[in-house]
Amino acid sequence: MAVTKTVDPDKINFAVDEGVTLLGENRVQEYLSKKDSYDSSAEVHFIGHLQTNKVKYIADSVTMIQSVDSFKLAAEIDRQAKKHGRVMDVLIEVNIGEELSKSGIEAADMLGLAEQISELENLRLRGLMAIPPIGAEEHIYAEMRELYEELRGKALPNSLTDTLSMGMSGDYELAVKHGSTLVRIGSALFGARDYSQHK
């Protein structure tokens, strides 16, 4: 995935022209201001913290929401997906380094949330997402893989567990070594981000 936050649509479309098929956005407001200029041949996943009251703005256009960290949010995505007559792919975001400031649920709560989500018919649980802390030790990545395998082993209803979204520009090699199926690459593709134009 090419993470396109703060990147201008012309650059994004250039990347799509070059063969990128999946984009990742992490802010609702910014995504809405840019999405109409995107080459429609690429899919968009939402990867940022999502407030329940903003789900309605993205439910018709993204193909996956990777940042589900509460049942309340999952239930609202289910409701909005139903409104649009679709099934939304979701990942549960796990706070694997247990940093207080980060979003995501704790590892110990993952299966409980997955079981709740599996009762929602307009969601399809595809797996897990994680943002390990910068400089995290390798065992953190291994723990994440174990959690993912645990979820796969459950084979819950309304799920197709094939995605472990882990790894960014600085740690994708380690993430892939530990079973990541989807890396989210921003600055290594587009250069350092300029936040001055997108708040």
Ligand X SMILES: *Cc1c(COP(=O)(O)O)cnc(C)c1O
Interface with ligand X, residue 187, by CB under 6 A: yes
**Closest CB to ligand X among residues 74, 183:** 183
β 88-94/2-3 pair status: unpaired
Binding characters for ligand X, 117-146, by CB under 6 A (x = yes): --------------x---------------
Report how far residue 81's alpha carbon sits from residue 134's, in angstroms, rounded to the nearest whole number.
Answer: 34
Minimum CB–partner distance for residue 83 and ligand X (Å) = 26
The residue among 92, 38, 34, 31 whose CA lies nearest residue 59 is 31
**Closest CB to ligand X among residues 156, 176:** 176
Among 112, 134, 188, 191, binds ligand X (CB under 6 A): 188
Interface with ligand X, residue 47, by CB under 6 A: yes
Minimum CB–partner distance for residue 157 and ligand X (Å) = 28
Number of residues interacting with ligand X: please give it, by CB under 6 A: 14
Report how far residue 106's alpha carbon sits from residue 158's, in angstroms, rounded to the nearest whole number.
Answer: 22
Interface with ligand X, residue 185, by CB under 6 A: yes
Interface with ligand X, residue 26, by CB under 6 A: yes
Element (H, E) at 81: helix 71-83
Q: How much helix, strand and coil, in percent to the nearest 5, is found in the chain?
A: 40, 20, 40
The residue among 156, 126, 129, 155 whose CA lies nearest residue 47 is 129
Give residues in contact with ligand X (CB under 6 A): 3, 5, 26, 47-48, 131, 168-170, 184-188
